[in-house]
């Protein structure tokens, strides 16, 4: 499973970088979305993988930390997901503003000879 997940993260990250390197604003935002998936999965995986061991404690039982998956990266990623939403929304408005003020959706704010 580790290898599969690592490949997925690599592909998400690589695709994100590719899109961010495109010269149009829309692609940059889509690229950022893909990159944030990759980054979130990356941080999450830092806690090492475990299936079926959600960090929800069983009531009344003795707590054995080794029986649960790592909750700290999960808490980090939860906030990261919400913040990346905020960033995406912010960039969207920046995109609209840039398009509105310059009349182009090129990332440099002007059409450029390639």
Partner 1 sequence: MSLALIVALPFLGAFLPGLMIRSGRNACAVSAGAITSLALVMLGLHAPAVLRGEVIQTRIDWLPQLGLNANFFLDGLGLLFAGLILGIGLLIILYARFYLDRRDPMGQFYTYLLLFQGAMVGIVLSDNILLLLVFWELTSLSSFLLIGYWKHLPEGRQGARMALTVTGMGGLAMIAGMLILGQIVGSYDLSVILQNKEAIQASDWYLPALILILLGAFTKSAQFPFHFWLPHAMAAPTPVSAYLHSATMVKAGLFLMARLWPVLAGTPEWFYIVATTGLVTMVVAAKIALFKDDLKALLAFSTVSHLGLITMLLGFGTQAAATVAVFHIINHATFKAALFMVAGIVDHSTHTRDLKLLGGLRRAMPITFAITTIAALSMAGIPPLNGFLSKELMLEEASHTVWAGIPWLLPVLATIGALFSVAYSFRFLGHTFLGQPRSQLDHPHDPSVGLWGAPAFLTLLVVLIGLFPMLSAAWLIDAAASAVTGEAVAVNIYHWHGFTAAFWMSVIAILGGFVLLMLHAPLNRLWLATPRPEAKRIFDGIVEPLAALARGLTQRLHDGALTRYFAIATVAIVAAGFAAFLGGAHSPGLRPETPVEIVPLIGWFLLIASAAAIVSFHRNRLLALVLVGVIGLIVSVGFAYLAAPDLALTQISVEVVTVILLLLALNFVPKTTPFESTRLRRGRDGVIATLAGLGSGALIYALMMRDSAFPSISGYHLANAKTEGGGTNVVNVILVDFRGYDTFGEIVVLGIAALVIFALTEAILRAGPANDRLLTWVQDQRDAGDRHPLMLVVATRMVLPVAIMVGVYIFLRGHNEPGGGFIAGLVVAIALVMQYMASGFAWTEARQRVDYHALIAAGVLIAGAAGVGAWFTGTAFLTSDFGYVTLPPLAPFELATAMIFDAGVFLTVLGAVMLALASISRIALRAGEKVNTAPYDTDLPDGEVR
Residues 16-55 that bind partner 1 (CB under 8 A): 17-30, 33-34, 37-38, 40-42, 44-55
Q: Tokens 């009349």 sit at which residue?
A: 103
What is the smallest separation between the CB atom of 29 and partner 1, expressed in angstroms? Answer: 7
CA atoms within 13 A on the CB side of 70: 11
Number of residues that bind partner 1 (CB under 8 A): 90
Which 55-114 positions form the footprint of partner 1 (CB under 8 A)?
55-59, 63, 65, 68-72, 74-75, 77-79, 81-90, 92-97, 99-101, 103, 105, 107-109, 112, 114
**Would you say the C-alpha torsion 26, 31, 33, 36 has a positive or negative sign?**
negative
What is the smallest separation between the CB atom of 62 and partner 1, expressed in angstroms? Answer: 10
- Would you say 67 and 23 are in contact if contact means Cβ atoms under 8 Å apart? no
- Would you say 90 and 53 are in contact if contact means Cβ atoms under 8 Å apart? no
What is the smallest separation between the CB atom of 99 and partner 1, expressed in angstroms? Answer: 6
């Amino acid at each position: 499973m580790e290898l599969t997940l690592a490949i997925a993260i690599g592909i998400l990250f690589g695709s994100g970088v590719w899109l961010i390197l495109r010269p149009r604003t829309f692609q940059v935002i889509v690229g950022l979305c893909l990159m944030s998936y990759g980054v979130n999965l990356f941080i999450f995986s830092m806690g090492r993988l475990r299936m079926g061991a959600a960090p929800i404690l069983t009531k009344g039982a003795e707590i054995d930390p080794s029986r649960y998956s790592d909750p700290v990266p999960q808490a980090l990623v939860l906030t990261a997901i919400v913040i990346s939403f905020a960033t995406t929304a912010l960039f969207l408005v920046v995109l609209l503003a840039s398009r509105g003020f310059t009349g182009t959706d090129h990332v440099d704010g002007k059409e450029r000879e390639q």
